[in-house]
Structure 1
Amino acid sequence: MRAVFIMMFAVSLGGMLLLQSTVLAADPLPTCFGVTYDSNHPDHILGTNGDDQIVGTSRNDVIFGMNGNDVILGQEGDDIICGGNGNDVLRGRGGADRMDGGDGDDVLWGGVDEGDQLFGSDGDDFVGGGEGDDLCDGGRGKDRTNGICVILRQVP
């Protein structure tokens, strides 16, 4: 969990004196497919609550889009991408990527390698696998696919 520290100092000729210190809890750090955001990890990329355009690296990135209508490109590597709330566009490119559009009407595209796992979550999503064998699940809503996916879902 992130924390906000509020400290009040007084300065005298003899040095600094801490008068009061308060810790306020903030929102928990985002999690994507069981991976929690770590600002010290070089392959973790965190978006904002606005509309972001994020391009990953050639490494195995973990990209957290957060809120807003984001466009996220994973590039090479086995990326983990979570769009968050909003109408997002997620594209995996190379590697066996895992993507979750989150809430909103999302567009998810796998990449040129097989083994992508695409989850639309809530909303009216488009889920397209790309080349190779991919797993696609549109989630709740009126979802569409390009027909190259295997859609696994329990039927009531």
Structure 2
Amino acid sequence: MRAVFIMMFTVSLGGMLLLQSTVFAADPLPTCFGVTYDSNHPDHILGTNGDDQIVGTSRNDVIFGMNGNDVVLGQEGDDIICGGNGNDILRGRGGADRMDGGDGDDVLWGGADEGDQLFSGDGDDFLGGGEGDDLCDGGRGKDRTNGICAILRQVP
């Protein structure tokens, strides 16, 4: 969905009325696990639609990789990481992380803490839980796991 803003101006020149308009369009802000990107939030990190390499902080980050083949490292904290479309590599590290690779052939790794949630869309993905009890949902495609995930579903 795209937001469209129209600005209209009326100018009077010697008895003639001129009407000019300018149209601005903006893509909606990305959302990841119900959290919408906020540029004023210090723990929100936004990638580009190209191939990004993003490293989070020790806080509870929300990282939006966007489109492209991204490499995202969450670091410590209970992170939320969404790779977007593309062949992404997402690594949670410490904390109970939630990750969504989006569509593409993705590699998702949970961290050292239990409680990671790994999701991916269409594509042939690898979902690797870390230590502890982790949940994995591979979506559509020929997905693999390291066996440390409780598989929510596997759709052929």
TM-score scaled to structure 1, two decimals?
0.86
Aligned residue number for residue 65 of structure 1 = 65
- Find the aligned partners of 1:154 and 1:88 in 2 and give their Cα distance: 20
Q: Deviations over 1:49-104 (max 9, x none)?
A: 10000000000000000010000000000000000010000000000000000010
SS at match of 2:76: coil
Deviates more, 1:132-141 or 1:109-118: 132-141
- Structure 1 residue 22, shift from structure 2 partner: 3.9
Report the CA distance shift for 1:21/1:38 in structure 2 as closer, same or farther (over 3 A).
Answer: farther
Q: Is the 8 A contact 1:91 1:111 kept in 2?
A: yes
- Structure 1 residue 25, shift from structure 2 partner: 2.7
Deviates more, 1:17-26 or 1:67-76: 17-26
Q: Deviations over 1:4-39 (max 9, x none)?
A: 989899999999999977452311110000000011
Deviates more, 1:112-121 or 1:8-17: 8-17
Q: Identify the structure with the greater strand proportion.
A: 2
Q: Mind listing any 5+ residue stretches in structure 2 that lack a counterpart?
A: none
Deviates more, 1:136-145 or 1:19-28: 19-28
Deviates more, 1:8-17 or 1:115-124: 8-17
Deviates more, 1:5-14 or 1:127-136: 5-14
Q: Is the 8 A contact 1:127 1:143 kept in 2?
A: yes
Report the CA distance shift for 1:45/1:12 in structure 2 as closer, same or farther (over 3 A).
Answer: farther
Aligned residue number for residue 119 of structure 2 = 119
- Find the aligned partners of 1:110 and 1:32 in 2 and give their Cα distance: 17
Are 1:100 and 2:104 matched, yes or no? no
SS at match of 2:153: coil
Q: Is the 8 A contact 2:139 2:154 kept in 1?
A: no
